């Protein structure tokens, strides 16, 4: 196979797609690119695999990502991942040295952190109120959960909306839950701003053990376009002997994308393990890397 061609497509007029439909096409394209990245597939190969014209694929991909499939493919290579791992060790160390307590600029967003009290954690949310809604995102349909104290959950819908809601309610069965997409729309727009708009301030409510909260705080120090290994993250929080426990904390993260657990990969540069699907992890990482991060 030859390299993906970067020539501009003709102005064909494909039907307008919903964000979820567009991501579905992109996800299938990414899956094919990932599975065949050593062969560096060309645009025609990817388009034929997902059943659309090369022009439509280029247009869909560029509309979704703001970059060409060729640039995205480069970001998925193992060599690129290894280079970013090496660069990120010093970046993470410097960020952690600044300190992670209180509000501050963490990764691409202004994020203020709050954490539930031990009593709230033990009582499974008794006395807390959560509002939730389903919204489109660049990475497929997502469920957003919010409380008066901040963003409390973000799940991508992989096995239906009911399953996504059950996932978010786990551990908070005694809280009050109300569907209110109007209330969570503002959160969706701040997390996934329209093209041309910058990041908006976010406050998040973390729910977990002190160790897990510390891991999630450290993740917020990893900028877009950068990645870290489990062992580097463990060392960064002063627990070099606990990469498995760090991996467990990452797996337990229920504020996807905002708490960027997708930015942790294996020391070999391999991308694996993501609650909402490894191809979605590739999509997020590839897009962040291709757009140049911060």
Which of 58, 75, 92 corresponds to the end of one domain? 75
Number of domains, the chain: 2
Answer yes or no: do 111 and 56 share one domain: no
> Distance of CA 212 to CAs 41, 83, 224, Å?
40, 27, 21
127 SS3 class? coil
**For residue 169, what pLDDT is reported?**
95
How big is the chain, counted in residues?
294
Least confident of 92-96, 162-166, 255-259: 92-96
Residues 86 and 62 in one domain: no
Residue 126 has pLDDT above 80, yes or no: yes
Same domain membership, residue 246 and residue 121: yes
> Does the pLDDT of residue 102 top 60, yes or no?
no
Q: At which of 75, 97, 118 does a domain end? A: 75
Output 34 or 190, whichever has higher pLDDT. 190
Do 267 and 133 fall within a single domain?
Answer: yes
User: Residue 278, class by beta-carbon neighbours within 10 Å (0-12 exposed, 13-18 middle, 19+ buried)?
Assistant: middle
Same domain, 147 and 220: yes
The answer as to whether 11 is a domain residue is no
**Domain for residue 10, yes or no?**
no
Instruction: Mark whether 277 and 136 lie in a shared domain.
Output: yes
Contact predicate 257/139, CB 8 Å: yes
Q: Residue 39 sits in which domain range? A: 19-75
Residue 7 included in any domain: no
Residue 13 counted as domain residue: no
286 belongs to a structural domain: yes
Q: Are strands 104-106 and 109-115 parallel, antiparallel or unpaired?
A: antiparallel
Query: Across the strands, what pairs with 154?
Result: 144, 255
Given 40, 75, 110, which residue is the final one in a domain?
Answer: 75
2 within some domain? no
CATH number of 86's domain: 1.10.10.10
Outline where DSSP puts E strands in the chain: 104-106, 109-115, 129-135, 142-147, 150-156, 176-179, 202-206, 228-229, 264-265
- Averaged pLDDT for residues 197-204: 76
Residue 108 has pLDDT above 60, yes or no: no
For residue 279, the surrounding DSSP H or E stretch is helix 278-290
Average pLDDT, the chain: 81
Is 190 found in the same domain as 229? Answer: yes
Q: How far apart are CA 44 and CA 56, in angstroms?
A: 11
pLDDT for 147-184, tens place per residue? 999 999 999 999 999 999 999 999 899 999 999 999 99
Crossing angle of the two packed helices 243-251 and 210-219, in degrees rounded to 10: 80
Shared domain check, 159 and 53: no
Q: Are 80 and 292 in contact (CB under 8 A)?
A: no
In a domain, 139, yes or no: yes
Whether 42 and 183 share a structural domain: no
Residues recognised as catalytic = 261
- The answer on 158 and 113 residing in a single domain is yes
Say what the pLDDT of residue 72 is: 78
CB 110 within 8 A of CB 203: no
Q: Tell how many helices (H) and how many strands (E) occur in the chain.
A: 12, 9
Q: For residue 108, is it within any domain?
A: yes
59 and 88 within one domain: no
Domain CATH for 64 = 1.10.10.60
The reply to whether 263 and 120 lie within a common domain is: yes
């Amino acid at each position: 196979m030859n390299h993906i061609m970067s020539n501009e497509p003709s102005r064909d007029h494909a039907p307008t797609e919903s964000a979820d439909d567009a991501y579905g096409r992109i996800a299938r394209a990414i899956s094919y690119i990932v599975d065949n990245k050593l062969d560096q597939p060309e645009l025609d190969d990817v388009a034929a695999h997902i059943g659309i014209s090369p022009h439509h694929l280029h247009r869909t991909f560029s509309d979704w990502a703001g970059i060409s499939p060729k640039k995205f493919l480069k970001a998925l290579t193992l060599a690129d991942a290894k280079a970013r791992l090496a660069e990120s060790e010093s970046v993470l160390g410097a960020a952690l040295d600044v300190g992670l307590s209180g509000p501050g600029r963490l990764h691409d967003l202004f994020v203020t952190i709050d954490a539930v009290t031990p009593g709230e954690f033990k009582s499974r949310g008794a006395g807390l109120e959560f509002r939730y809604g389903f919204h489109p995102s660049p990475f497929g349909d997502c469920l957003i959960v919010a409380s008066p104290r901040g963003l409390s959950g973000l799940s991508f819908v992989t096995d239906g909306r009911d399953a996504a809601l059950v996932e978010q309610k786990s551990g908070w069965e005694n809280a009050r839950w109300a569907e209110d997409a109007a209330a969570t729309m503002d959160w969706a727009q701040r997390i996934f701003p329209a093209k041309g708009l910058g990041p908006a301030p976010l406050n998040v409510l973390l729910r977990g053990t002190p160790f897990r909260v510390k891991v999630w705080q450290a993740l917020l120090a990893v900028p877009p376009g950068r990645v870290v290994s489990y062992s580097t993250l463990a060392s960064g929080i002063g627990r070099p002997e606990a990469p498995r426990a760090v991996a467990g904390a990452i797996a337990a993260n229920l504020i996807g994308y905002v708490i960027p657990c997708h930015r942790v990969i294996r020391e070999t540069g391999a991308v694996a393990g993501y609650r909402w699907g490894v191809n979605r992890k590739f999509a997020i990482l590839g897009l962040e890397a291709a757009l140049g991060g911060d």
